[in-house]
Amino acid sequence: MSASQTSLIDLQIMWHRLIAVVEEQAQVLLRTAFSPIVRECGDLSAGVFDLKGRMLAQAVTGTPGHVNSMAESVKHFIAHFPIETMKPGDAYITNDPWMGTGHLNDFVVTTPCFKDGQPVALFSCTSHLMDIGGIGFGPDGTDVFMEGLYIPMLKLIDQGVVNETLMAMIRANTRLPVDTEGDTYSLAACNDVGCQRLVEMMTEFGISSLDELGDYVCERSREAVLAEIRKLPKGTWRNEMVVDGYDAPVTLKAALTISDDGIHVDFDGTSKASKFGINVPLSYTTAYTVFGLGCVVASAIPNNAGSLSPLTVSAPSAAILNAPKPAPVASRHVIGQMLPDVVFGCLRQIIPERVPAEGTSCLWNLNVRGQTRSGAGGNYGFSMAVTSNGGTGARFDKDGLSATAYPSGVRGTPVEIAETQTPLIFWRKELRPDSGGAGRTRGGLGQIIEVGSGVDAPFDILAAFDRIDHPPRGRDGGHNGEAGYVGLASGKKLRGKGFQTVPPDDRLVVLTPGGAGIGDPRERATDLVQGDVESGLVSADNAAKLYGQAR
């Protein structure tokens, strides 16, 4: 075997080791986090970067909104804290929505990694913190300053010494000081583990820098993505989708252009920024747009700076998808997570067999908050995002997935955890029959969730739901998914967005949307329809009415 071949094999092995290193980094964050949305649901990201700020590997555990926006945030850290000024034991932090991952509830911590006294890499991670003060995790703010504590690019740890002034500020500006402080330390700790494992790997392979490996990873990944893009027809395709918005519908328009050099998505024509907190910084817009592209065009290629580079995004300044500071952005996921469906609408015009129908898309989190005994357990009341979702859209040759968080990827919060962490009781949490759009392939089902207070006190729902007025659209004769609904058991309908109160003698009722179907329902195989009926997913009435199959 020649030296060059051996070198390529070693580079490939080291690349896989990098992915293993960042996965361990993510698992440390998952296992040490205080917030249930992180430790139970995986709302986090972790990655390793070279000294140029290129992401070389990301953990499988995590969400694309965090990962792909964090990929850009490290460049901002380097601009504020040049590599030559970094010291062993340093760590940096921000939650700046325009330099981080899109809203104040995400802390990004970046740590330089040293080997033999020289910087060799940067580890960065992100997790969602449930409460960082302000009005709370909801869309009612009218500027970012209402939405909580704003941390600029700061040094969290200076050569091993924690910035106690900053930590005191963080603790003083949250209803959950215990959780928030613990989560901050878990972010720093997981980066430290990543640094240790990377140095071990570099020592094992006898390398003193990641320059050669970084170039190999990025160049191979970029060329692999470009090779897939070059198989596609060239040209521009357009799609438009309307979603609920806050006080008025929001139009999302995309023009997707494929060339030999890559894919560009332009959101010109999209609605202007909202006065409420559903706006999206461009970094988050980019994150979910390129994730949608990657899922269809290059799903087998690892996510890194090289594979991301052929995929580019633009949106007009002051559009809802490129909201400038100080626009409110707390619930940026409601609009941002719709973007894979928007680009899928472009791609289905050329590669329909690889693209699903529209789904629920945005998370249907039950953002609940209420009072407990003042200062109980070191926190002030409770605040929790009970993560849930509706159905995904049907695939060309498979049904959609039920109660699945795509494109976010977070897991649903177990009822047992929610009831342990809050004084709430979950009376129902089950699949919603007939909610998946009928079709040759059926949309995934939504859920029925019913929640009440377990104490003689009301609780707040910080609603940030969509697909209530504009459900997922069916394709090629497939039916729409069922629209979402939020209300009280007493019969009162609640608004899809905004702070509202659930009385102690009533219950919150949430029906999450179903995914849309593909194709004429009457072309669906008889055994599949019968299986759906036997499983309680489709009623006998709908089997007869929509699928034409006798009861």
What is the tens place of the pLDDT at every residue in 20-68? 999 999 999 999 999 999 999 999 999 999 999 999 999 999 898 888 8
Residue 358: its pLDDT value, please?
Answer: 98
**Region 309-333 average pLDDT:** 97
Judge if 19 and 164 occupy the same domain. yes
Res 373: pLDDT: 53
Tens-digit pLDDT profile for residues 475-516: 999 999 999 999 999 999 999 999 999 999 999 999 999 999
What are φ and ψ of residue 454, in 5° steps? -90, 5
Q: Looking at the domain assignment, is residue 303 inside a domain?
A: no
Q: How many domains does the chain have?
A: 2
Q: Which of 207, 222, 237 is at the close of a domain?
A: 222
Rounded mean pLDDT, 85-104 = 97
pLDDT tens readout for residues 394-419:
999 999 999 999 999 999 999 999 99
- At 6 the pLDDT is 52
In this structure, are residues 290 and 307 in contact, taking their beta carbons and an 8 Å threshold? Answer: no
Average pLDDT over residues 292-299: 96
Question: Final residue of a domain: which of 187, 222, 257?
Answer: 222
How far apart are the C-alpha atoms of 425 and 434, rounded to whole Å? 26
Q: Residue 342: pLDDT band by 50, 70, 90 thresholds?
A: very high
Examine the fold and report which residue of 194, 222, 250 is the final residue of a domain before the chain moves on.
222
Q: For the whole model, what pTM was predicted?
A: 0.96
- In terms of Cα–Cα distance, which of 156, 153, 158 is closest to 181? 156
Exposed / middle / buried, residue 551 (Cβ in 10 Å: 0-12, 13-18, 19+):
exposed
pLDDT at position 71, please? 84
Q: Is residue 371 one of the residues assigned to a domain?
A: yes
> Does residue 324 form part of some domain?
no
Q: Please report which confidence band the pLDDT of residue 70 belongs to, taking 50, 70 and 90 as the band edges.
A: confident
Domain containing 213 equals 3-222
> What is the arrangement of strands in the sheet containing 382-386, beginning at the earlier edge strand?
382-386, 366-370, 459-464, 497-502
371-397: average pLDDT = 87
Residue 273 domain flag: no
Q: Is residue 286 in a domain?
A: no
Question: Is 138 among the domain residues?
Answer: yes
> What's the mean per-residue pLDDT of the chain?
96
Residue 544, Cβ density class (10 Å: 0-12 exposed, 13-18 middle, ≥19 buried): middle
Domain membership of residue 316 (yes or no) is no
Query: 127 in a domain, yes or no?
Result: yes
> Residue 107: is its pLDDT beyond 50?
yes
